[in-house]
Structure 1
Amino acid sequence: MQLTTIDWAIILAVIAVAVGVGAAVARQAGKNASQFFLSGRSMSGVWLGISIVATTFAADTPGLVTEFVRQDGIAGNWRWWALLLTGMLTVFLYARLWRRSGVTTDLEFYELRYSGPPAAALRAFRAIYLGVVFNVIVMAIVSLAAIKIGQVMFGFTPIQVLLWGGLSTLLFSTTGGFRAVILTDCILFVVAIGGAVAAAYFAVNHPDVGGLANLLTHERVVGKLNLVPAWDWSNPDARESLLMVFIIPLSVQWWSMWYPSAEPGGGGYLAQRMLAAKNENHAVGAVMLFNAVHYAIRPWPWILVALASLVVFPTVTDLGIAFPDIAQDKLGNDLAYPAMLTFASEGWQGLIVASLLAAYMSTISTHLNWGSSYVVNDFYQRFIEPNASDRNLVRVGRVSTIIMMLLASLLALWLNTAEQGFTILLQVGAGTGLIYILRWYWWRINAYAEIVAMVISFAIALFFQWSPDLLSDSQQLCAGVLITTCCWMLTIMLTPAESRETLESFCRLIRPAGPGWAKVYRDAEQAGQPITGPGPGESLPLGILRMVLGCIGIYAALFAVGYALFGNTMVCITLGSVSLVAALLLLATYRRQPARSTPS
């Protein structure tokens, strides 16, 4: 790319706005840890929802989608489309409970739900495991995408990309804290969406592609347009693809695996947004807005670029020929996305580059703030310096932010492709998801079970990383889920339940629904200390019904947009009608709950 003056002006303006917002709110963010990590629990659901969308609009996501489409067609996206089930579960079952807990981080939850040394140990370990190790892996994957984009579009070295991108993000995330992250996310989201649409326009109108109609009829593209993979069980390769792309994601993956922004039961930076909301209704609205935009609207510009890349760069070899300076270990199908962006016309290149920079900055800033909140609240203050001043806590948060950025940059230099990172994250969390769902709805889950689940899943992931040819990818995932689940279920049988006092205290604060807590409510009533149960409209069956309706509505909207692009008006209208009916039925079942006063 040869950027013009106006291109550079757009790029520098985006950086200046982000850094300026951080400087503007730095004084307020530095008042105390609550302001730095949760913005005083005063955020609107709309702002928080857009922020989550911006965060998941990572620099690596378009490349990952491109890799899926080039390998398995549009249907390859079921690897992450299936996670909508997890998202809707969080909206209608967990969002209120998280906000009701009043904790500062989701790890603080452990010492509400569990008790004694096991709860403390679990909180401390996950503070480092998730806040540093897992978080650094995610940021490294995002940084890898930034490296490829910088190399393809500008010829930058990996060090140059990491230096400039990392410094820009650190400036506003370390000064302005969570409020700066949210405000800049909302600005960066508009830039990112605009750039994605512009990228799709120029990709589809590339001379070799010749417009949308020609793209959809091209011989290299026609076989990639199915929204559901072909069912060819007789072919071993096709069978493995069907398992990994469609069957396992919809039957196993969504409930059994921990993945950022799609954690079963909520968690991570998703929980951080819910905890920062004004009240329970804003927490629900934030997660619902995120899922609607994330799944129904945003994928299609990326998919169009991916399809067009099959015409211009049919193979990875073609990408290597077109960009000979790219290191061989960094060549992959995910490289096709930035490769297609080089064809944008002058004046638009700045917007596209700014959108990629915005995607990178919004994701990295969120992970830095979220990870440092674990280090500060769940490790440093809880176990090292319980009486630390607010100024000291903010200082530790800023230092840990810088350290995590450095670690992520080093790991990014080692990774090769976006799918490699995606697979590592899924395997590491395989088998842990169900316990994160059940701990809210079954009194028998204890801290020992979570510890065992986490240790076993991580050990299995390491084993398969060093023995990748022992089983196929689908067999590895299923084996990880099965072994981990059996181990933590056995642990529950062999270890004592949490104390009666802990369980009753949890129920008084959270008011969980479902038969899994009937014993606790009954015991408390028999002891003459009855516990107020869940409010009207919070029953478990009703929540599951709403989840199903939400999934139908968003999936129908997703496919309606796709068929509109394909020019199939009748199917588009039909699916649009299904989406509308599902939304109306959802509204009919949903009784708006009054905003309750929750701990701050």
Structure 2
Amino acid sequence: MDLPVFDLVIFLIYMAGIVLFGISFSFRKRTASDYTTGGGRLPSWAIGMSIFATFVSSISFLALPGNAYLSNWNGFVFSLSIPLAAWIAVKYFVPLYRRLQSESAYYYLETRFGAWARIYASVCYLLTQLARMGAIMYLLALPMNALFGWSIPTIIVCTGISVMVYAMLGGIEAVIWTDAIQGIVLIGGALLCVVVILFSMPNGPSEVFSIAAEADKFSLGSFDFNFVESTFWLILVYGLFINLQNFGIDQSYIQRYISAKNQKEAVKSTWLGSLLYVPVSLLFFFIGTALYSYYQAYPDLLPAELHLAENADKVFPYFIVSGLPQGVTGILIASIFAAGMSTVSTSINSSATVFLSDHYRKYIRPHAKERESMKVLLAASFVMGLISIVVALAFNGVTSALDAWWALSSIFSGGILGLFLLGFIIPKTSSKAAAIGVICGVVVIGWMSLSPVVWQGTALEAYQNTLHANLTIVMGTLTIFVVGFLLTGFFSKQTNQ
């Protein structure tokens, strides 16, 4: 299917504009601190939009509608946990990191438990970001594949390099200012899409709701206390743990706390970015539900292969190509790229910061000067960008990119939230108790992640994990915290005897 020239022009102008705007920040004279924190010059609204845009990646723009189209609004329960996580963040986490004034989120863990904790957490973060960037770039490739028939690997490579160039050269200022623009573009694009779908229904907008309600598409999932299936409570608990991890120990967020002019501005930006995501994610779920109703009303408009469950993520891109009026298609394609590019650029910048702060300056060249530090930041950004492209290629063909990302994020997070909470809540916890807790947590995460695959069909099959994959991060975090807490009491008693 060919893209009208007008739509193509809109999309290309947007892409060129964002890349050039991001690169423009490279002409400023900067230190490594400017590159990673912006020198405290950034306004709270821009930082807040950047936090929001980091939340709303192409995982949200494509996978959430795909998830809602395929099933219901169970995934939206994840967003319901954000206000509580944000409240905890502004009350405890933002003041902590503003007080430490370290560009690394993992410096705190070193002050509590030693160098091993910082290394462990930073490596887990880098692995998580690679999985995140891979999922995002794969989802970015879907609409362009539908538009032009180009191979998904080719699109991944081209778009990955485009984002990598401005993220690598522009630093955190380029990331935040482009995020702010992209956040506005993607909200506008999503709203346009909803309006078109509603007023394209044969019997008017109300038909979207009647068809969806009949198919129980608005359900938030079962309210049973079932830890095997994706119930309301399971997703709520999973969302709370993931969002606490985001706000409490994710380098992307901590950098934004530090980038704000003062603590008050950091709090404002955190509230803006987190609370804005809730209604916008609802909008994306509604798009998926509306598309279900639309193709129930017009079944002949959807190709037979897109009725298959494994192609649910491709339904929205197909609608963008075939169901939108000229001009709107170009805006929607730009919106999808806005969603993906903002998160990938953030991950590249924060990953480079982690490598410089937690590894290079710590163990390779502790007294590296500014010029050398800048070279390391640029090189690390380049390498992380390249590896993320390889990961994106590995995502090609997965049934649900959202489910795959959720599973990988649970595994790679390594329960570092548990280590952080242990140090934050239990001040007497020793390094030894924390280390044993981490070892136990990694064992639990490994068992929950690998046993259903490795032990299937063997003598150990009866002992494989039967809990839902999303509980991996929950159980890993709780194991680290509980074991560390119990050992703290045990070691204290031994010391007093």
| TM-score computed with the length of structure 1 as normaliser | 0.72
Q: Indicate if the aligned counterparts of 1:319 and 1:336 stay in contact, CA closer than 8 A.
A: no
What 5-or-longer segments of structure 1 have no aligned partner?
Answer: 234-238, 498-600
Letter in 1 for 2:280: R
Match for residue 352 of structure 1 among 332, 344, 349: 332
SS in 2 for 1:223: coil
Letter in 2 for 1:339: Y
CA separation of 1:491 and 1:404: change in aligned 2, threshold 3 A: farther
Show the 5 A alignment for 1:484-523: 484-493=480-489
Q: Note the alpha carbon deviations across 1:164-189, whole angstroms, 9 max, x for none.
A: 21121112111110111111111111
SS in 1 for 2:234: helix
Match for residue 389 of structure 1 among 369, 374, 377: 369
Deviation at 1:479, TM superposition (A): 4.8
Report the Cα distance in structure 2 between the residues aligned to 1:179 and 1:149, rounded to whole angstroms.
Answer: 29
Q: Note the alpha carbon deviations across 1:14-62, whole angstroms, 9 max, x for none.
A: 222222223322133x621101111112222111001111122101113
Q: Indicate if the aligned counterparts of 1:105 and 1:374 stay in contact, CA closer than 8 A.
A: yes
Counterpart for residue 217 of structure 2: 224
Q: Note the alpha carbon deviations across 1:48-104, whole angstroms, 9 max, x for none.
A: 001111122101113332244245422431134224321221022221222122111
Match for residue 251 of structure 2 among 256, 265, 268: 268
Question: Are positions 1:307 and 2:307 aligned together?
Answer: no
Question: Are positions 1:405 and 2:385 aligned together?
Answer: yes
Counterpart for residue 456 of structure 2: none
SS in 2 for 1:444: coil
Q: Indicate if the aligned counterparts of 1:200 and 1:302 stay in contact, CA closer than 8 A.
A: no
Q: Note the alpha carbon deviations across 1:468-497, whole angstroms, 9 max, x for none.
A: 364031795465455444333344345679
Counterpart for residue 582 of structure 1: none
Counterpart for residue 101 of structure 1: 100
What 5-or-longer segments of structure 2 have no aligned partner?
Answer: 453-463
Report the Cα distance in structure 2 between the residues aligned to 1:67 and 1:444, rounded to whole angstroms.
Answer: 46
Deviation at 1:391, TM superposition (A): 1.5
Higher relative contact order (CA 8 A, sep 6+): 2
Bigger shift: 477-486 or 210-219? Answer: 477-486
Q: Note the alpha carbon deviations across 1:491-534, whole angstroms, 9 max, x for none.
A: 4345679xxxxxxxxxxxxxxxxxxxxxxxxxxxxxxxxxxxxx
Deviation at 1:6, TM superposition (A): 2.4
CA separation of 1:7 and 1:383: change in aligned 2, threshold 3 A: same
Question: Are positions 1:253 and 2:235 aligned together?
Answer: no
Q: Note the alpha carbon deviations across 1:542-567, whole angstroms, 9 max, x for none.
A: xxxxxxxxxxxxxxxxxxxxxxxxxx
Counterpart for residue 290 of structure 1: 273
Counterpart for residue 410 of structure 2: 426
CA separation of 1:454 and 1:438: change in aligned 2, threshold 3 A: closer
Show the 5 A alignment for 1:47-446: 47-111=46-110, 113-114=111-112, 119-130=114-125, 132-207=126-201, 210-218=203-211, 222-226=215-219, 228-231=220-223, 239=226, 244-250=230-236, 252-254=237-239, 257-258=241-242, 263=246, 265-295=248-278, 297-312=279-294, 321-322=303-304, 331-342=310-321, 343-415=323-395, 416=398, 417-418=400-401, 419-429=403-413, 432-446=416-430
Q: Indicate if the aligned counterparts of 2:245 and 2:417 stay in contact, CA closer than 8 A.
A: no
Report the Cα distance in structure 2 between the residues aligned to 1:200 and 1:182, rounded to whole angstroms.
Answer: 27
CA separation of 1:204 and 1:127: change in aligned 2, threshold 3 A: same
Counterpart for residue 41 of structure 1: 40
Deviation at 1:244, TM superposition (A): 3.2
Counterpart for residue 12 of structure 2: 12
Q: Indicate if the aligned counterparts of 1:305 and 1:340 stay in contact, CA closer than 8 A.
A: no
Letter in 2 for 1:271: I
Which of the two has greater helix per residue? Answer: 2
Letter in 1 for 2:334: A
Deviation at 1:318, TM superposition (A): 10
Match for residue 466 of structure 1 among 439, 450, 464: 450
Letter in 1 for 2:120: F
| TM-score computed with the length of structure 2 as normaliser | 0.86
Report the Cα distance in structure 1 between the residues aligned to 2:267 and 2:66, rounded to whole angstroms.
Answer: 32
CA separation of 1:245 and 1:170: change in aligned 2, threshold 3 A: same
Q: Note the alpha carbon deviations across 1:444-464, whole angstroms, 9 max, x for none.
A: 234445544554444433333
Report the Cα distance in structure 2 between the residues aligned to 1:33 and 1:2, rounded to whole angstroms.
Answer: 45
Q: Note the alpha carbon deviations across 1:287-318, whole angstroms, 9 max, x for none.
A: 011122111x212331222112223557xx99
Letter in 1 for 2:115: A
Show the 5 A alignment for 1:516-531: none
Deviation at 1:426, TM superposition (A): 2.8
Deviation at 1:355, TM superposition (A): 0.7
Report the Cα distance in structure 2 between the residues aligned to 1:247 and 1:206, rounded to whole angstroms.
Answer: 36
Divergent runs of 4+, >6 A: 317-320
CA separation of 1:452 and 1:401: change in aligned 2, threshold 3 A: farther
SS in 2 for 1:339: helix
Q: Which of the two has higher C-alpha Rg?
A: 1
CA separation of 1:462 and 1:145: change in aligned 2, threshold 3 A: farther
